[in-house]
A = this chain, B = another copy of it.
Amino acid sequence: MNTKEIVDCAMGRIKSDIVLLNGQLVNVYTKEIIEADIAISKDRIVHVGKNTNDLIGENTRVIDIEESIICPGLIESHVHIESSMLTLSRFTEAIVPHGTTTAVIDPHELANVAGMEGLEILVNEARNSPISYLIELPSCVPSLPGFETPGSTIDSEQVKQLIIRDEFFALAEMMNYPGVFLGLEEVMTKIDATKKAGKIIEGHAPLLKEKELQAYVAAGISSDHEATTFEEVLEKLRLGMKLQVREGSFAKDLGNILQNLDESKIDTRNILIASDDRNPIDLIEKGHLNYTYRKMVQLGMNPIEAIQMMTLNTATHLGLEKEIGGIAPGKRADIIVVNNLEEFNIKMVFAKGEVLFENGKLAFPIQEKKFPDFILDTLSKLEVPTIEKLMIKVNSQNYVNVRVIGVSEHSLITEKLEAELQVQDTFVIPDIENDILPVVVLNRHTKEEKIGKGFVKGLGLKHGAIASTVAHDSHQLICTGSNYELMLKAIEALKESHGGLVVVTIDNITILPLKFAGIMSTGKIEDVVRLNKELNNALNTLNPAISESFMALAFLALPVIPHLKITDHGLIDVDAFEKVNPIIEE
């Protein structure tokens, strides 16, 4: 709407489309609850007060919300939608019932697999979405150049070209924080290009502090979602950073941080909320930011302050305060109606002035998306290898000492272990009794046959194999198991399903297909959750030693987290940043 039109609507010269009567408005600007009616014309709020009489015409939909709470649509400040295993449209269907009307997404995983071609698909989906997606340009693709076969590379030259495009809202989390404080040219170029484009640079700076943190902030990086303690939060807030307190499916920092926040009496305007990742089961069973809100209030936080952290504070950080983050005349009509501030049950969701959710149901048309063929078979270049190619061959000996990746519960950090293994017919034999399992990573991004091989301890799988094409960040195919035959079956199954997660037992193959780039399903969240549960049931028949075997497996391949990892290039000693031989030479 141009200004004339919106003014005419506000004055009642043009009647409103929708009027909500008798609301209790969460005023995030003043931190009050006030009585208000809301008038909506097209995608805009045109009145917030008690003078809507003149605005109601015969075609106005008038809804008496009977003292329900009116709240700005919730804004997700940082999420990788890939962890939901859903495409953008399916993700939208999943989060709208929870009151999210804007989400800042970093499509880092998709970019690692499918590069700009993949991102274009996302950009197109976002453009037609009933809610708002702010798509960030991934800053670190691949995470560690030279140590794996990347699905794609976005270098500083490409960042220069891409960051000026309207579709890219910001430069996504700058994970290469050493590259920042060391002043590496490639990193500096990406940052300078983003600043020149007038866009924000999001951060990722776990445990960074003192001089290095100051350099990171001085570089112009404005946010962080990696702080896990209040002390870390406070140091970063004091430097003017926007602090995204994270409550995801994996990392749950809220409790730790909120505990001390209230006592501190500090200004909370620079605190935002981020999910970072949300798995499909949590999304359907717990919710999204509405779940986080409830948890915050249970932890004793002031409800309006909690809402500010997922609305106004985020909008201000994003430079979108004129558009979203609060309910005021002229702002976009992104509004949720909830029963009360304790239960926070979502009754209605409006985005861009449209009703998207009411009476417990989605109210927008769901279209089956057509995707280009290439994105639905990103394993096409992978040839299933012979079983011998999965095995490690040595010169004739009876025993060898090998390097072993040590996995433990609830940690992405692995240990560097060693073990003595038998050799038979020049092949190294895993020691299942002692939980020394083979693990392989297969290149699926190019035609070049590349198989990284090693051993892992801690997963405890005894009678089966698991494999996944979700393997951070390049998302090659990673596989482990109690014997090579079952592992080969797992690899074959993923090749056939065009990617996904699979559990292979002696009798059964249970698969969660993830056709879209090998990391996301094209199905609905209900189907993904059902298949996910079946997969978990199958996994449990293998008596795994840890609770999140697939999560642990996925992160075995990420060579930027200490200490020993594996890519399609082989074992990587992350501390030394060098490739190492699984066999320890005497």
Binding site for B on A (CB under 8 A): 2-4, 6-13, 27-32, 34, 44-49, 51, 54, 180-181, 183, 185, 188, 191-192, 195, 210-212, 214-215, 217-220, 222, 234, 237-240, 265-267, 269-270, 308, 316, 319, 322, 326, 328-331
B29 touches A267 (CB 8 A): yes
Once A181-B11, A316-B316 are accepted as A-B contacts, the answer to whether A328 and B217 lie under 8 Å apart by CB is yes
Distance from A168 Cβ to chain B, minimum over Cβ atoms (Å): 17
Question: Do A330 and B217 have beta carbons less than 8 Å apart?
Answer: yes
- Give chain B nearest CB distance to A396 CB in angstroms: 53
Distance, CA A34 to CA B240, complexed state (A) = 14
B47 in contact with A10 (CB, 8 Å) = no
Which label, helix, strand, loop or mixed, suits the secondary structure of the A interface?
mixed
Asked whether, in the complex, the Cβ of A239 is within 8 Å of the Cβ of B322, the reply is no
Q: CA of A239 to CA of B46 in the docked complex: distance in angstroms?
A: 11
- 8 Å CB contact of A10 from B3, B31, B215: B215
Rounded to whole Å, the gap between the CB of A313 and the closest CB of chain B is 9
Q: Return chain B residues, CB-CB under 8 Å to A185.
A: 4
The 8 closest A-B pairs by CB, nearest first: A240-B328, A218-B329, A10-B215, A31-B267, A218-B330, A10-B218, A30-B266, A217-B329
**Complex Cα spacing A21 to B47, Å:** 52
Contact of A238 among B13, B27, B46, B210 (CB under 8 A): B27
Quote the shortest CB–CB distance from A169 to chain B (angstroms): 15
Contact A240 B6 (CB under 8 A): no
Q: How far is the CA of A265 from the CA of B33 in the complex (A)?
A: 12
> A183 to B234, alpha carbons, bound, how many Å?
48
A214-B10 in contact given A2-B192, A238-B30, A330-B219 (Cβ < 8 Å): yes
Task: List residues of chain B with CB within 8 A of the CB of A49.
Answer: 210, 214
Question: Is B10 in contact with A211, judged by CB distance below 8 angstroms?
Answer: yes
Minimum distance in angstroms from A206 CB to a CB of chain B: 18
A9 to B181, CA, bound (A): 10
User: Of B46, B237, B329, which contacts A29 at CB under 8 A?
Assistant: B237
Chain B residues positioned under 8 Å from A28 (CB to CB): 267
Identify which of B9, B29, B32, B195 contacts A218 (C-beta below 8 A): B9
A8 to B185, CA, bound (A): 12
> Using Cβ atoms and an 8 Å threshold, which residues of chain B touch A183?
3-4, 7-8, 11, 13
**Which chain B residues lie closer than 8 Å to A269 at the CB level?**
269
From residue A11, how far is it (CB to closest CB) to chain B in Å? 5
Minimum CB–CB distance for A345 against chain B, Å: 26
- Contact across chains for A219 and B3 when beta carbons are under 8 A apart: yes
A4-B44 CB under 8 A given contacts A29-B267, A30-B238, A218-B329: no
Given known contacts A32-B238, A183-B8, A47 and B329 CB-to-CB distance under 8 angstroms: no
Q: Which residues of B contact A2 (CB under 8 A)?
A: 188, 192
Cα(A210)–Cα(B47), bound, Å: 9
How far does the alpha carbon of A222 sit from the alpha carbon of B330 in the complex, in Å?
A: 10
Contacting residue for A239 out of B180, B188, B267, B328, CB 8 A: B328
Interchain CA distance A188-B5 in the complex, whole Å: 10
Of B54, B191, B220, the residue contacting A322 (CB under 8 A) is: B220
Given A2-B188, A48-B239, A266-B31, A181 and B7 contact (CB-CB distance below 8 Å): yes
- CB-based nearest B residue for A233: B30
Q: How far is the CA of A214 from the CA of B44 in the complex (A)?
A: 13
Q: Kindly report which residue of chain B lies nearest to residue A326, judged by CB atoms.
A: B240
Minimum Cβ distance to chain B for residue A43 (Å)? 13
Chain B: minimal CB distance from A433 (Å):
51
* Chain B residues in 8 Å Cβ range of A316: 316
Find A214's partner among B48, B217, B220 (CB 8 Å cutoff).
Answer: B48
Given A6-B218, A218-B330, A240-B326, 15 other A-B residues pairs in contact with their CB atoms under 8 A:
A3-B220, A7-B188, A11-B212, A29-B239, A29-B240, A31-B265, A32-B238, A45-B218, A51-B210, A51-B214, A217-B329, A218-B329, A239-B328, A239-B329, A319-B319
Q: Can you identify 19 A-B contacts, CB atoms within 8 angstroms?
A: A2-B188, A3-B192, A4-B185, A6-B219, A7-B183, A9-B218, A10-B214, A10-B215, A10-B218, A29-B237, A30-B234, A31-B266, A34-B238, A46-B218, A48-B214, A51-B210, A54-B211, A239-B329, A240-B329
CB distance from A29 to the nearest CB of B (A): 5
Shortest distance between the CB of A202 and any CB in chain B (Å): 13
Complex Cα distance A211/B54, Å? 9
Q: Find chain B residues with CB under 8 A from A322 CB.
A: 220, 222
Interface contact B8-A214, CB-CB below 8 Å = no
Q: Which residue of B lies closest to A222 (CB)?
A: B322
* Complex contact A211–B31 (CB within 8 A): no
- Complex CA distance for A326 and B237, rounded to whole angstroms: 12
Return the chain B residue nearest A194 by Cβ. Answer: B3
Measured between beta carbons, the chain B residues less than 8 angstroms from A219 are 3, 6-7, 10, 330
When A6-B219, A215-B329, A329-B218 are in contact, do A30 and B267 touch as well, CB less than 8 Å? yes
A48 shortest CB reach to chain B, Å: 7
- A9: chain B residues at CB < 8 Å are 218
B contact residues around A31 at 8 Å (CB): 265-267
Please name the residue on chain B nearest to A189 by beta carbon.
B3
Q: Which residue of B lies closest to A325 (CB)?
A: B240
Contacting residues, chain B, for A3 (C-beta < 8 A): 183, 188, 191-192, 195, 219-220
**A270-B29 contact, Cβ under 8 Å, with A240-B331, A316-B316:** yes
**Most chain-B CB neighbours within 10 Å: which of A28, A183, A188, A326?**
A183
Residues of the B chain whose Cβ atoms lie less than 8 Å from the Cβ of A51: 210-211, 214
